Amino acid sequence: MNHRTMRTFSSPFFLVFAGILTILGLLAYTMYKPNSVISPKVVISKDESAALKLEIENLQRQVSHLKRKMGSNLVLEKPKNSYPQIKFQNEENRKRILITGAAGFVGSHLVDKLMMAGHEVIALDNYFTGRRRNVEHWIALDNYFTGRRRNVEHWIGHPNFELVHHDVVNPYYVEVDQIYHLASPASPPHYMYNPVKTIKTNTVEVYGDPEVHPQPETYWGHVNTIGPRSCYDEGKRVAESLMVAYQKQEKVDIRIARIFNTFGPRMHMNDGRVVSNFILQALQGKDITIYGNGNQTRSFQYVSDLVDGLFALMNSNTSLPVNLGNPEEHTITDFAAIIRDLVGSGSQIVNHPKAEDDPQQRKPDIKRAGELLGWQPKISMRDGLKKTIEYFKNELANEKSGERMNEDKKNDKSVNVPE
């Protein structure tokens, strides 16, 4: 027996799983023979059967918690038929695609789309905001700084999928057909954590605090080069300059997407963005906090629309910048009220001092995307919010389950849950 097998059989996850199988076997036996005697001295009554069911539910919560705690180190092989059915692509049409930030919010959804289309994917991530459970065989590159491993774990082991733990600021050599660069952190706490790295890794969307509304691709933007957001805003602008320089100097085929505010499942609950903040505060019955007077506007698109737009842009023939966003515009105060109403919360909306250099209006002009890509958003903001709220409810329930498990461990030392 090799060391990996020994670690698997001695792991808390395996022991809990084995316990569940044992109890399930006993329960099934009693269901078929409710009055039978398991041993000469033991008879399973209805009360005992109910107790077994409760024990199974408790063990299932333990397994869920252990998966979250051990997911970064535990590798379970899946049978081939456990993956989603993907489209077959012949050698001529199948592409090998690299995605940076692949375990992050947007990157993991793009992984799913490309995998289902039958391509090979290399997923690169450093897991800073990404989650491994989010990914699909393309190459996904991520150092997990903002990514989470669980965002991509449902593709691990698939023959078309390769997950690479790597920081994109360091060289990575691989031969691929396409590269999607999505490695930059997008929330203020994350991109301000290491501003130098943000500039080095940033993606594109250049408008800053715009003075033209809505913003067409021909608008050059309005950015404070030394403000607290400068690493984010200027990082995006220099990324476009670098792309165009490579196109002119090295004849690299490029695509430039200008991505507007995006939301949906797999957002990090504590990333500090408007959508996640408002939903969490509403679900928990806390005050919904707005920075500024709330009259600033935003336009929010659902993540599946963005992924469709990125895919259409990559497979188009244009090297012009293209806005990808939903022009449905709301003030931040209205947006907070919409989320509160959808949640059914009694939260109060409160105002805090305005953040420095916070854009006062944001709305994409998407005529170019329609003309060149035939793309426009399909999911309304409200429909997208309903799906996202449901996702956050499940995340909070899982989090509470983990807290209950830790409390159980304190009260019962026989429960083996790793910290």
What percentage of the chain has pLDDT greater than the value 90? 45
From the list 235, 220, 230, the residue with the least C-alpha distance to 183 is 235
Q: Domains in the chain, ordered, with CATH?
A: 3-70 (no CATH), 96-183 (3.40.50.720), 184-414 (3.40.50.720)
Task: Pick 73 or 268 by higher pLDDT.
Answer: 268
Q: What is the distance of C-alpha 16 from the center of its chain?
A: 28
Cis peptide before 214 (omega within 30 of 0): yes
Phi first, then psi: give them for residue 250, nearest 5 degrees.
-110, 0
pLDDT digits (tens, 9 = 90+) for 354-399: 887 788 899 999 999 999 999 999 999 999 999 999 999 999 998 8
pLDDT digits (tens, 9 = 90+) for 244-293: 998 999 999 999 999 999 999 999 887 788 999 999 999 999 999 999 99
Nearest-angstrom CA–CA distance, 201 and 247: 18
Nearest-angstrom CA–CA distance, 158 and 95: 16
pLDDT digits (tens, 9 = 90+) for 325-341: 999 999 999 999 999 99
Q: 238 is written with which tokens? A: 């220099």
Report the DSSP beta bridge partners of residue 23. Answer: none
Residues noted as catalytic? 232
Q: Is 326 left (phi over 0), alpha (psi -120 to 50) or beta?
A: beta
Handedness of CA 75, 81, 86, 89 (dihedral sign): positive
With 90 as the cut, is the pLDDT of residue 131 above it? no
For position 211, what pLDDT does the model report?
Answer: 87
Q: Is 307 left (phi over 0), alpha (psi -120 to 50) or beta?
A: alpha
Task: Output the pTM of the full model.
Answer: 0.73
Residues in the chain: 419
Strands 329-331 and 297-299: antiparallel
With 50 as the cut, is the pLDDT of residue 72 above it? no
- Residue pair 97/118 in contact by the 8 Å Cβ criterion: no
Task: Pick 295 or 82 by higher pLDDT.
Answer: 295
From the list 351, 346, 309, 344, the residue with the least C-alpha distance to 326 is 309
- Per-residue pLDDT, averaged over 392-414, amounts to 68
Strands 37-39 and 42-43: antiparallel
Phi first, then psi: give them for residue 259, nearest 5 degrees.
-95, 125
Phi first, then psi: give them for residue 191, nearest 5 degrees.
-75, -20
Task: Pick 270 or 115 by higher pLDDT.
Answer: 115
For position 270, what pLDDT does the model report?
Answer: 79
Q: Where are the beta strands (DSSP E) in 198-320?
A: 256-259, 262-263, 288-291, 297-299, 301-302
Nearest-angstrom CA–CA distance, 128 and 12: 26
For position 58, what pLDDT does the model report?
Answer: 75
Strands 178-181 and 161-165: unpaired
Nearest-angstrom CA–CA distance, 108 and 102: 5
Phi first, then psi: give them for residue 281, nearest 5 degrees.
-65, -40
Q: 357 is written with which tokens? A: 């250099």
For position 45, what pLDDT does the model report?
Answer: 76
3-state SS class at 330: strand
From the list 170, 152, 168, the residue with the least C-alpha distance to 160 is 152
Nearest-angstrom CA–CA distance, 296 and 330: 8
Phi first, then psi: give them for residue 416, nearest 5 degrees.
-100, 90
With 60 as the cut, is the pLDDT of residue 414 above it? no
Task: Pick 382 or 49 by higher pLDDT.
Answer: 382
Confidence band for 28, pLDDT divided at 50, 70 and 90: low
Tell me the CA distances in angstroms from 155 to 23, 191, 369, one per residue in order. 30, 28, 31
